[in-house]
C-alpha cells in the first residue's frame, strides 16, 4: 500500500477514536410510562478501562422527579418517582471517575423522557363518581336511656357535693381568729425555749439560733421592717434609726455579738451568758411594750 493511502486510512479512523471518551455512563429506566408518585428504577451502566473507580451521587433529583440511590452491589441503581402532571424527563446523572493512571474526569447520562399517565380509569363510564348512599338510621335502645339517666344522677350528686362544700368553706361562715400580739407571741416562744432543755444539754448553737430568731421576729412585727432576713450589721443599723432605739440597740448588740460566733464560727459560748441573753430579750420586750402601751392608770389619766 502506498504511503499516501495509509495516511488517508489513519486520518479516517482518527475522528472515531477521538470521539470515544475514556469512560462513559448510560441510564436505563425500568418504566417510561408512570403515574404520579409511582416508583420505578433507573439503572446506570458504567463503561471504562480496567481499574476505573466510579463515584455516583446519592441524590439526583430534579424539580419534578425524585431520584434516591438504592443499596446495590456492582451496578448503581436509583429509585425514582414523578411528581408532576405533565410528561417529564429523568434528570441526567453526573458521576466522577478515576482511571488506573490517576487521571480523573466526569461522565453524564442522557435524560430519559417519561410519560405521566392519569390514575383515572381509561373508560369514561368508569370515571363517574361513586354513588352516595343516604345516612343510616341508628336505633336508640333501652340501654342508652339507662346509661343517660345514670350519668345525670352522677352529675346531680357531684353538683350537690360541690355546693355544700363551698357553703362550708364560705368566708362568711368562717370564724375569724384574732391575731396574737407580737409581745405575747414572743413571750410564749421564750417560755418554750427556756424549757426546751437546750441549755441543760449544752446545745448553745441551737439555743442562740432560736433566741435570735425570736428577738428578730418580735422587732420585725413591731417596727414593720424585714429584720428576720437581715444580717447582724443590717439589723443594728435599722434599729438605730427607730424612735425607741435606746431600748433595743444595746440588748440586741450584746445578743448578736455573742450569738454570731457560736452560730457561724462554731464558738464554744457560755451557758451563763446564754441565760443572761434570754433574760435580756425578755427585758427588752417589756421595756418596749411599756413605752408603746402605757399602763392602764396612765391611759386613764391621759383620757
Please report which residue ranges of 52-181 form alpha helices under DSSP H.
Answer: 142-168
pLDDT digits (tens, 9 = 90+) for 34-66: 988 889 999 999 888 988 998 999 998 888 899
Averaged pLDDT, 99-122: 87
| Closest C-alpha to 255, from 223, 281, 233 | 281
**What beta strand segments (E) does the chain contain?**
24-29, 33-35, 39-47, 53-55, 65-70, 76-82, 88-90, 94-98, 104-108, 112-117
Fill in the DSSP letter of residue 59. Answer: B
pLDDT digits (tens, 9 = 90+) for 170-193: 554 345 567 899 999 999 999 999
Which run of H or E residues covers position 183?
helix 182-194
Averaged pLDDT, 96-116: 92
Cell 421592717 maps to which residue? 225
Lowest-confidence segment of 16-25, 68-77, 135-144, 270-279 by average pLDDT = 16-25
Please give the span between the terminal C-alpha atoms of the chain, in angstroms, as a whole number: 154
Higher confidence at residue 261 or residue 300? 261
Question: Collapsing DSSP states into helix, strand and coil, what is residue 40?
Answer: strand
Report pLDDT for 128: 60
Higher confidence at residue 184 or residue 302? 184
What does the chain come to in residues? 303
Report pLDDT for 263: 84
Report pLDDT for 124: 65
pLDDT > 90: what percent of the chain? 43
Higher confidence at residue 4 or residue 89? 89
pLDDT at 75 over 90: no
Backbone angles phi, psi at 160, to 5 degrees: -65, -45
Question: Collapsing DSSP states into helix, strand and coil, what is residue 119?
Answer: coil
Report pLDDT for 219: 94
pLDDT > 70: what percent of the chain? 78
Amino acid at each position: 500500500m502506498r504511503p499516501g493511502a495509509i495516511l488517508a486510512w489513519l486520518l479516517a479512523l482518527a475522528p472515531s477514536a477521538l470521539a470515544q471518551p475514556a469512560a462513559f455512563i448510560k441510564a436505563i429506566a425500568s418504566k417510561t410510562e408512570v403515574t404520579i408518585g409511582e416508583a420505578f428504577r433507573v439503572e446506570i451502566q458504567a463503561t471504562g478501562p480496567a481499574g476505573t473507580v466510579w463515584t455516583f451521587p446519592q441524590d439526583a433529583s430534579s424539580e419534578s422527579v425524585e431520584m434516591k440511590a438504592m443499596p446495590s452491589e456492582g451496578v448503581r441503581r436509583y429509585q425514582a418517582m414523578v411528581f408532576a402532571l405533565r410528561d417529564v424527563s429523568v434528570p441526567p446523572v453526573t458521576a466522577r471517575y478515576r482511571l488506573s493512571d490517576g487521571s480523573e474526569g466526569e461522565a453524564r447520562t442522557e435524560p430519559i423522557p417519561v410519560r405521566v399517565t392519569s390514575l383515572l380509569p381509561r373508560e369514561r363510564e368508569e370515571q363517574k363518581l361513586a354513588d352516595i348512599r343516604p345516612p343510616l338510621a341508628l336505633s336508640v335502645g333501652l340501654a342508652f336511656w339507662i346509661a343517660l339517666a345514670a350519668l345525670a344522677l352522677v352529675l346531680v350528686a357531684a353538683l350537690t357535693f360541690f355546693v355544700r362544700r363551698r357553703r362550708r368553706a364560705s368566708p362568711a361562715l368562717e370564724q375569724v381568729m384574732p391575731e396574737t400580739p407580737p409581745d405575747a407571741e414572743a413571750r410564749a416562744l421564750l417560755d418554750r425555749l427556756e424549757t426546751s432543755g437546750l441549755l441543760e444539754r449544752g446545745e448553745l448553737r441551737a439555743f442562740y439560733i432560736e433566741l435570735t430568731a425570736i428577738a428578730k421576729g418580735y422587732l420585725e412585727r413591731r417596727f414593720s421592717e424585714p429584720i428576720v432576713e437581715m444580717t447582724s450589721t443590717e439589723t443594728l443599723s435599722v434599729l438605730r434609726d427607730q424612735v425607741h432605739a435606746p431600748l433595743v440597740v444595746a440588748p440586741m448588740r450584746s445578743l448578736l455579738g455573742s450569738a454570731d460566733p457560736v452560730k457561724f464560727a462554731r464558738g464554744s459560748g457560755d451557758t451563763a451568758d446564754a441565760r443572761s441573753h434570754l433574760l435580756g430579750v425578755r427585758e427588752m420586750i417589756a421595756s418596749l411594750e411599756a413605752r408603746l402601751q402605757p399602763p392602764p392608770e396612765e391611759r386613764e389619766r391621759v383620757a
